[in-house]
A = this chain, B = another copy of it.
Amino acid sequence: MTDLKPWKTLNSTVVLDRRPWMRVFSEDVQLPDGRVVQGYLRLETPDYAVIVPVDRENRVGLIRSYKRGVDAVDVQPPAGLIEPGEDPLLAAQRELLEETGCRAEHWLPLGAYILGGNFCGGHAHIFLATGCLQVAEPDSGDLEEQEVLWWPVERVRQRWRRGDFRQLGSVAALGLALAHLEDGHA
């Protein structure tokens, strides 16, 4: 395979600082062939966890709420920001409990993925949580009004395939989780 060299950062300037939500850097970078690109943008957003919870009746737990980014009501797996320094699995367990009132018997990490290859952004840490059991009432503390739905796996698969889930992170997480459930590796 070709030897591909990284780009070199010549300098980096913060052009927007709205921590903890977002920081944007403008950077001059040097490509391996010597060319310099000025003002290449880099976005910093918090890492977050996406959880696909499955209960003992083989139903998938989903959250229905108005999402500002979609500007519509959307259905998605439970998800939430990881606090600085927090272990992604512990954040996922906390979010699942807050959003659905559930604890899971088994947690399978399905990888951590970056929002965009060009401009960066935080990582989405994806988990499959099986053997979910309700132990409390949901209490998300989120700004959004929300509703918990438990849908049969097959219904989730159909809706996923036909493009009903509106967010990239939902689609990535459900695809991986469904493949693992199908092969019985969960």
Contacts and interface: CB of A to CB of B under 8 A. Distances in A.
Q: Which of A64, A117, A118, A162 has the most CB of B within 10 A?
A: A117
A69 B117 contact: yes
Interface string A139-176: 00001011100000000010011110111111110111
Nearest to A24: B16
Given A163-B112, A168-B114, A120 B37 contact: no
Given A66-B5, A143-B31, A119 B22 contact: yes
Interface residues of A, number: 74
B16 A120 contact: no
A72 B120 CA distance: 11
Given A68-B117, A117-B68, A171-B176, A110 B163 contact: yes
A67 B29 CA distance: 13
Given A70-B117, A117-B167, A160-B176, 12 more contacts: A4-B145, A5-B145, A18-B39, A21-B41, A22-B43, A31-B143, A69-B118, A112-B163, A113-B171, A117-B166, A161-B176, A168-B168
4 cross-chain pairs, A with B, having the tightest CB-CB distances, nearest first = A175-B175, A111-B163, A67-B117, A69-B120
Interface of A: 1-2, 4-7, 15-16, 18, 21-22, 24, 26, 29, 31-33, 35, 37, 39-43, 45, 64-74, 76, 79, 110-121, 124, 143, 145-147, 157, 160-163, 165-172, 174-176, 178-180
